[in-house]
Amino acid sequence: MQLIAVPMASSGGGSGFTLLLPLILIVGMIWFMSRTQRKQRQRQAETVASLTPGTKVITTSGLVGIVEETDDEYVTLEISEGVLVQVVKAAVGRVIPDDDAAAEELTADDATDEAVEAVEEPAAEAKDPVDVPDAGKDKADSKVQDAPKLPPTHTEN
């Protein structure tokens, strides 16, 4: 018995496209990711360039301080009264908004909160009080049910 290899029928020119499609997708993903990273680097550079004395910042390691002075490579931060730390400019993660801007946001939020409370108060008064059966019980008389039991420290033979 002889086995003869017979070539399979091809689908025509479609095989080239099916090989090219994953390559196009990979190149597109790499381009998109590099574009996103480029935008992040640009925002970081703008943040570092806008540092002026008195600006409150957070470093990438989580250190919060106020900018005292800047030079070409370093930023001097005051992290506590009289405590100065020098960090690399690239370590500045973000700028914290001034207290004045934050206070304006809080006053706007407080106004909306007061409006919500005014709407909710009549609804709260209309509810009947809930009767809790164990509310009047003295907790000193009851035993603690959920006390964890420790495992034995040794075993006896």
pLDDT for res 127: 57
Q: Are strands 56-59 and 64-70 parallel, antiparallel or unpaired?
A: antiparallel
Q: How many CB atoms lie within 10 A of CB 129?
A: 5
Cα separation, 61 vs 84, whole angstroms: 16
Predicted structure pTM score: 0.44
- Please, what CATH class does the domain formed by 17-95 belong to? mainly beta
pLDDT for res 78: 92
pLDDT digits (tens, 9 = 90+) for 110-152: 555 554 454 455 544 555 666 655 555 555 555 556 666 777 7
Q: Kindly indicate the confidence band of residue 157, based on its pLDDT and cuts at 50, 70 and 90.
A: low
Burial tier of 76 (Cβ tally within 10 Å: 0-12, 13-18, 19+):
middle
DSSP 31-47: HHHHHHHHHHHHHHHHH
Ranges of H-type helices in 50-78: none
> For the chain, what percent of residues have pLDDT higher than 90?
25
